[in-house]
Amino acid sequence: MLRTFKRGTHPPESKFTENLPLEDFDAPQILAISLSQHIGAPAKPIVKEGDLVKVGTKIGEANGFVSANVYSSVSGIVKGFKKLPNATGAKVMHVEIENDFKYDAVLLPAITEPTKENLYERIREAGIVGMGGATFPTHVKLSPSKPVDTLVINGAECEPYITCDYRLMLERGEEVLKGVGYLKTVLGVEKAFVGIENNKKKAIEYLKSIAPEGIEIVALKAKYPQGAEKQLIYSLTRRIVPTGALPMDVGVVVANVHTAYSVCRAVDKGEPCYMRAMTLSGDGIEKKGNYFVRNGISFEYIYNQVIGSVPVEKTRKVISGGPMMGFSVSNLLPVTTKGTSSLLFLTEKQVNVSKPTQCINCGRCVRGCPMNLNPSRIEPMVIESHTEKLKTMNPMSCIECGVCSYNCPAKRPLLSAIRLAKKIIKEGGEK
Ligand code: SF4
Ligand code: SF4
């Protein structure tokens, strides 16, 4: 029987790009590389206007332990600094670079004799972060303050539309597994699981055929949110991460398959993290596909390259990330970063535009919630701003997967209400 977790949902997969191999995406003349591509303090700029840079020149230095180095993705000249909105709308500092289209590179020396210490240092130096979209600096995850015995690798790719991890596993499987091996060495663990949803059978078969001892490829039921950290750990190890606890509290570290791939590139090729695999999809564009995209390319440039003959009016919503947990962007000014796993240009048919109506007490939001919450009861308490009652409903354990909103036939904005509930509790009663 396929391993899985309790509850969840199964939205239409819409994996239109699953059979399209990864291609290189051409970069524009001007790029803006964000100094804040990770969770934690923004990197400090270490270049100035007029400096010449190459592919792999460090342009931002990690500012503290929970931060990450930032590298140029092209060769050219630094034009200056600019504040631009990121995909969440927050304004962050970017380094503007004029591309000379030569792609001269300055890479780190390849590591030929890997040790726990030199691998850790390389992962930190290369600026690798959680490439599944969480963007937590990987070197921080690899320094757990509690003993761990298991590495869990997320190859679930449970969000609809996105297929870049699937293509990486199929086309770069050896590098993905080598990266898993390097992560195991740093953590000093014997066992790693790679969890992959069963709708990616070719990837499961291929990785099984090449996986070395100590890395187990596990087929998981195709169900959302199979790739959420707590659900994935439960599916693969049957360990339960309590509310407020971290995976390391149950002896586990979780990383994404793309993170493992980036680790391998940094170790074997000396390639810092300046490019990533991305899916471009949705019926608002003609040239859907999976691409290796350099950091710092504006969403507008990407859109213009892939729209083809589709009328602009067809695109109703642009989402950075997946449709369940990604961010709907209000303009195309943001640029690609280490965490941009996909850009979706969705049409009216592909987005929910209906207005919320009254709750009909159908219980679908409760039945689907993987964290066993009751969103239909939380929402009215948020409207009343009833802090004490909210505390008894445990909204802090919500993983913000969006299953409740997706399942609700009345289209209640349940996820937004639960986010607000968290804020109310954190701020001690203030809405
Ligand atoms: S309440 Fe939170 S965890 Fe539960 S379904 Fe809604 S978003 Fe997901
Ligand atoms: S799914 Fe929507 S309509 Fe049904 S109980 Fe939950 S909030 Fe009410």
CA of 371 to the centre of ligand 2 (A): 16
Q: Which of 306, 347, 342, 300 is nearest to 324 (CA)?
A: 342
Q: What is the pLDDT of residues 16-54, one digit of tens each?
A: 999 999 999 999 999 999 999 999 999 999 999 999 999
Mean pLDDT of the chain: 95
* Digit-coded pLDDT (tens) for 90-124: 999 999 999 999 999 999 999 999 999 999 999 99
Residue of the CA atom closest to atom 2 of ligand 2: 408
Which amino acid residue places its CA nearest to atom 3 of ligand 1?
398
Nearest ligand to the C-alpha atom of residue 412: 2
Residue 407, ligand 2, Cβ within 6 A: yes
CATH class of 116-269: alpha beta
Q: Is the pLDDT of residue 162 over 80?
A: yes
CA dist list (Å): 175 to 110, 179, 210, 340, 421: 14, 6, 11, 21, 42
pLDDT of the residue at 79? 98
Predicted confidence at residue 431, as pLDDT, reads 43
Structure tokens at 381: 């308490």
The confidence score (pLDDT) of residue 427 equals 81
Q: Residue 393: CB within 6 Å of ligand 1?
A: no
For residue 258, give the nearest of 175, 187, 318 by alpha carbon: 175
**Residue 430 clears pLDDT 70, i.e. is over it:** no
Q: Is the CB of 419 under 6 A from ligand 1?
A: no
Nearest CA to ligand 1 atom 6: 404
**240-281: pLDDT as tens digits:** 999 889 999 999 999 999 999 999 999 999 999 999 999 999
Bridge partners, 81 (sequence order): 95
Query: Is 133 close to ligand 1, i.e. is its CB under 6 Å away?
Result: no
pLDDT in tens, 366-391: 999 999 999 999 999 888 878 888 88
CB neighbour burial string for 97-130, b if at least 16 within 10 angstroms, e if fewer:
bbbeeeeeeebbeebeebeeeebbebbbbbbbbb
% pLDDT > 70, the chain:
99
Does ligand 2 have an atom closer than 6 angstroms to the CB of 380?
no
Any idea where the domains of the chain sit in the sequence? 116-269, 364-426
For residue range 314-351, list pLDDT tens digits in order: 999 999 999 999 999 999 999 999 999 999 999 999 98
> Whole-prediction pTM value?
0.95
